[in-house]
């Protein structure tokens, strides 16, 4: 039997449908998401739609509540400080930061739910997320650089915090006005 080795491997999101991204101010972005209890086909389909939505919006990370779904899941596709790429979906993630005093990095951060502006946002220079893949296997991602920032930004979303909530009120107001949201 010949094997069909010319068929391209399916990429994350290929089976999914890009859904609209919800913006700052929608209640689903401002409360903690429910933990996932079933690692079923509905979850696999959700993850595919999340990858499709993230890529369609040219994002590097997306949390489920950004497409209006109350579930503790995020996807990401970004590089660490050494340029090494990570593509992952994490279910029921738990963020683990190094103990204080922590090395901080200040760098540009933006969000698909606050479209347009980016601004300097301090974050821990390293971060770890522990959780499960969509099949229910344990996963652990250690990040530096953009990956560390993304791990913190996406777990924040699932806790109901948008990155602008971490900025001074004056800066937040300006960012939301720039995004046409307030
Ligand atoms: Zn975001």
| CATH code (residue 121) | 3.90.45.10
Distance of CA 112 from the midpoint of ligand 1 (Å): 6
Residue 2 has pLDDT above 90, yes or no: no
150 is known to lie in a ligand binding site: no
Residue 143 CA to residue 126 CA, distance in Å, equals 6
Active site residues: 154
8 Å CB contact between 119 and 155: no
- Residue 133 belongs to a domain: yes
Distance of CA 20 from the midpoint of ligand 1 (Å): 14
Q: Residues lining ligand 1 (ion), CB within 5 A?
A: 111
- Residue 23 belongs to a domain: no
* Strand 138-144, strand 114-124: pairing: unpaired
- Residue 5 belongs to a domain: no
> How far is C-alpha 30 from the geometric centre of its chain's CA atoms?
15
Residue 59 has pLDDT above 90, yes or no: yes
The mean per-residue pLDDT over the stretch 52-74 comes to: 98
The mean per-residue pLDDT over the stretch 171-182 comes to: 94
Confidence of residue 182 (pLDDT cuts 50, 70, 90): confident
Average pLDDT, the chain: 95
Residue 91 has pLDDT above 90, yes or no: yes
Distance of CA 107 from the midpoint of ligand 1 (Å): 15
- Residue 140 belongs to a domain: yes
Name residue 78's beta-bridge partners: 86
Strands (E) located in 72-137: 73-79, 85-96, 104-111, 114-124, 126-132
111 is known to lie in a ligand binding site: yes
The pTM score is: 0.94
pLDDT for res 17: 98
Confidence of residue 103 (pLDDT cuts 50, 70, 90): very high
- Residue 102 belongs to a domain: yes
What residue spans of the chain are helical by DSSP H? 41-56, 145-158, 169-178
11-35 pLDDT, tens digit per residue, is 999 999 999 999 999 999 999 999 9
Distance of CA 32 from the midpoint of ligand 1 (Å): 14
153 is known to lie in a ligand binding site: yes
Residue 63 CA to residue 113 CA, distance in Å, equals 10
Share of the chain above pLDDT 70, in %: 96
The mean per-residue pLDDT over the stretch 56-74 comes to: 98
Q: Which domain holds residue 137?
A: 41-179
**How many domains in the chain?**
1
């Amino acid at each position: 039997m010949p094997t069909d080795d010319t068929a391209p491997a399916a990429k994350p999101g290929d089976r999914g449908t890009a859904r609209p991204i919800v913006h700052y101010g929608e209640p689903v972005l401002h409360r903690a998401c429910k933990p996932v209890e079933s690692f079923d086909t509905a979850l696999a389909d959700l993850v595919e739609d999340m990858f499709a939505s993230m890529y369609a919006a040219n994002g590097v990370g997306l949390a489920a509540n950004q497409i209006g779904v109350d579930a503790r899941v995020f996807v990401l596709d970004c590089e660490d400080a050494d340029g090494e790429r990570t593509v992952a979906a994490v279910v029921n993630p738990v963020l683990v930061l190094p103990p204080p005093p922590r090395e901080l990095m200040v760098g540009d951060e933006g969000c698909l739910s606050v479209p347009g502006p980016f601004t300097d946002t301090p974050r821990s220079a390293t971060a770890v997320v522990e959780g499960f893949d969509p099949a229910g296997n344990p996963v652990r991602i250690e990040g530096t650089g953009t990956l560390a920032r993304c791990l913190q930004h996406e777990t924040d979303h699932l806790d109901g915090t948008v990155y602008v909530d971490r900025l001074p009120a004056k800066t937040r107001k300006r960012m939301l006005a720039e995004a046409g949201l307030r």
